[in-house]
Amino acid sequence: MTGSTRPQNTEDMSTPTIGTPTTGTPTTGRPRRPGPAEQDNAGWSIFSYLIAGMVVYGLLGWLLATVTHTAVLLPLGAIAGLVVAIAGVVYKYGRS
């Protein structure tokens, strides 16, 4: 045992230099262009955002409707969820 606390193998502990991509994305500042597989999956992602938004806000509307005995809150919650989901899809996929 030596008096040094420094590990012997420092090969895998190197730090990346500044400006070097660590996740495979370019450092040009521009967003990475999606490949064919990512473009195919974008439709399913958008569909799942819309369904999830309607379900989550519909459940919140249903919960509020059962507590307040106001039946109109369920469809209002589902519509609000659809609007929020559309806004999220436009924010995420509409910028190009």
User: Which tens digit of pLDDT belongs to each residue from 74-92?
Assistant: 999 999 999 999 999 999 8
What's the total number of domains in the chain?
A: 1
16 domain-assigned: no
Which is higher by pLDDT, 55 or 93? 55
pLDDT of residue 47: 92
Number of residues assigned to the chain:
96
Task: Write out the residue range of the structural domain in which residue 67 sits.
Answer: 46-96
Q: What is the largest CA-CA distance in the chain?
A: 76
Residue 4 confidence (pLDDT) above 70: no
d(CA 17, CA 7): 21
pLDDT of residue 75: 93
27 domain-assigned: no
15 domain-assigned: no
DSSP state of 30: S
What burial class does residue 60 get, using C-beta atoms within 10 Å of its C-beta: 0-12 exposed, 13-18 middle, 19+ buried?
middle
pLDDT of residue 34: 62
**Residue that is written with structure tokens 């999220």 in the block:** 88
Tokens of 50: 């819309």
Mention every residue, 6+ apart, whose C-beta is less than 8 A from residue 59: 77
How large is the average pLDDT for residues 44-67?
Answer: 94
Tokens of 67: 């507590």
